[in-house]
Chain A
Amino acid sequence: MNVLPGFFFYLLSAIILGGAILTITRRNAVHSAIWLIVTLLGVAGIYLNQHAEFLAAVQVLVYIGGIMVLFLFVIMLVNLDEAAKQRQFNHQWTIAVGCALALMAELAYFIVKGRESFRFGDTGTGTLNPDAAVIEFLKSCRDIPGLGPGGFLQPNTELIACALYRDYLLPFEIASVLLLVAIVGAVVMAKKEI
Chain B
Amino acid sequence: MPEVTTAHYIFLSTALFTIGTIGVLTRRNVVIILMSIELILNAVNINLVAFSKQLLSINGQAFAVFIIVDAAAEAAVGLGIIIALFRNKETINADEIDLMKW
Measured CB to CB, the residues of A under 8 A from B are: 1, 3, 5-7, 9, 13, 16-17, 20-21, 23-24, 29, 32-33, 36, 39-40, 43, 46-47, 49-52, 54-55, 58-59, 62-63, 66-67, 70-71, 74-75, 77-78, 80, 83, 86-93, 96-97, 99-100, 103-104, 107-108, 111, 115, 118-124, 144-147, 152-153, 156, 159-160, 162-164, 167-168, 171, 175, 178-179, 181-183, 185-190, 192
Contacts and interface: CB of A to CB of B under 8 A. Distances in A.
Nearest to A108: B14
Main secondary structure of the interface of A (DSSP, over half): helix
B55 to A, nearest CB: 8
A9 B64 CA distance: 20
Closest 10 CB pairs of A and B: A189-B80, A24-B23, A96-B25, A182-B73, A186-B80, A118-B6, A163-B62, A6-B1, A186-B76, A93-B26
A108 B35 CA distance: 24
Interface string B32-53: 1011101100100110011111
Nearest to A84: B29
Contacts, number: 259
Interface in B32-91: 32, 34-36, 38-39, 42, 45-46, 49-59, 61-62, 64-66, 68-77, 79-84, 86-87, 91
